[in-house]
């Protein structure tokens, strides 16, 4: 069974400080990993996925298969980054469960001025 | 934000009654999903549908039912068998399974 763990329920940093939101997963195959974000009064939306290897809004995330982690990082946090962040996993393509997302519990990031 | 609509925004029902939550999308997406969001538990998948007239159980399907008679619609019925139905329900869709999921605004169901 697949599982996603976000160990920090709350994370607070000051503007301009580096931020790292942790995500660990368990899955027997090669998963696809995602970060979704929900800003205040907005819908949940995709921030980035590991296969695209993009940097979105200054955020990056590297899939570390050895440590089974997909931590989200940003070198200089901004106040507008304050939001709820969810890490999610999908089984790899080709399987019957491809596209079926398992979400972590979420981390509320607060960036103070 | 258009594309996926959920109605109503708030819903109150008495215990023992079935209730149906609406989810409609005009994105021409093949796949649709229902999630339940509870504080501290993230999102949990209830049901998903990869194509019209087909759907599969997610991780917490007990006490719920769905139908997918039209591509744009994926209603969720919360039955009286669901032991703890009070929650926030999110609907999502994706162009194909595995592609980016787009979420609706959610429906908050309160069972009294």
SS3 label, residue A15: coil
pLDDT of residue A83: 98
CB B95 within 8 A of CB B30: yes
> Band of the pLDDT at A1, cuts 50, 70, 90?
confident
pLDDT tens for each residue of A51-92: 887 888 999 998 998 999 999 999 999 999 999 999 999 987
The answer to whether B42 contacts A44, with C-beta atoms less than 8 Å apart, is no
pLDDT of residue B40: 81
- How many cross-chain Cβ pairs, A to B, lie less than 8 Å apart? 52
**pLDDT exceeding 90 applies to what percent of chain A?**
76
pLDDT of residue B108: 96
Residue A97 has pLDDT above 70, yes or no: yes
Residue B104 distance to chain A (closest CA, Å): 7
**pLDDT exceeding 70 applies to what percent of chain A?**
100
Contacts A103 to B, Cβ<8 Å: 35, 42-44
Of A4, A98, A102, the CB nearest to B98: A98
Read off the DSSP letter of residue A69.
Answer: B
pLDDT of residue B62: 96
The answer to whether A102 contacts B59, with C-beta atoms less than 8 Å apart, is yes
pLDDT of residue A88: 95
Contacts B100 to A, Cβ<8 Å: 46, 49
Of A42, A93, A99, the CB nearest to B94: A99
Q: How far is CA A85 from the centre of its chain?
A: 6
The mean pLDDT value of chain A amounts to: 92
The pLDDT tens digits along chain B (112 residues) read 459 999 999 999 998 899 999 999 999 999 999 999 998 888 999 999 999 999 999 999 999 999 999 999 999 999 988 889 999 999 999 998 888 899 999 999 999 8
Q: How far apart are CA A65 and CA B64, in angstroms?
A: 35
pLDDT of residue B112: 87
- Is residue A35 exposed (0-12), middle (13-18) or buried (19+ Cβ within 10 Å)? buried
Disruptive mutation site among A7, A25, A99, A107 for chain B (greatest number of B CBs within 10 Å):
A99
Written as six digits, the tokens of A62 are 């590297």
């Amino acid at each position: 069974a697949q599982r996603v763990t976000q160990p920090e329920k709350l994370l607070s940093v000051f503007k301009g400080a580096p931020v790292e939101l942790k995500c660990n997963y368990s899955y027997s195959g090669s998963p696809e990993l995602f970060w979704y974000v929900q800003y205040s009064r907005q819908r949940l939306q995709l921030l980035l996925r590991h296969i695209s290897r993009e940097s979105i809004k200054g955020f990056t995330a590297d899939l570390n298969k050895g440590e089974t982690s997909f931590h989200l990082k940003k070198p200089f946090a901004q106040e507008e980054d304050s939001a709820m962040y969810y890490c999610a996993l999908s089984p790899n393509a080709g399987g019957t469960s491809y596209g079926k997302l398992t979400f972590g519990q979420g981390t509320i990031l607060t960036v103070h001025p | 934000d258009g594309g996926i609509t959920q109605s109503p925004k708030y819903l109150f029902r008495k215990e023992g009654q079935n209730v149906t939550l609406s989810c409609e999308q005009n994105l021409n997406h093949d796949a649709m999903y229902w999630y339940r969001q509870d504080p501290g538990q993230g999102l949990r998948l209830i049901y998903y549908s990869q194509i019209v007239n087909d759907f599969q159980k997610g991780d917490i399907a007990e006490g719920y039912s769905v139908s997918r008679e039209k591509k744009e619609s994926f209603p969720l019925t919360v039955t009286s068998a669901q032991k703890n139905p009070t929650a926030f329900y999110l609907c999502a869709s994706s162009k194909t399974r595995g592609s980016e999921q787009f979420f609706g605004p959610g429906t908050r169901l309160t069972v009294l």
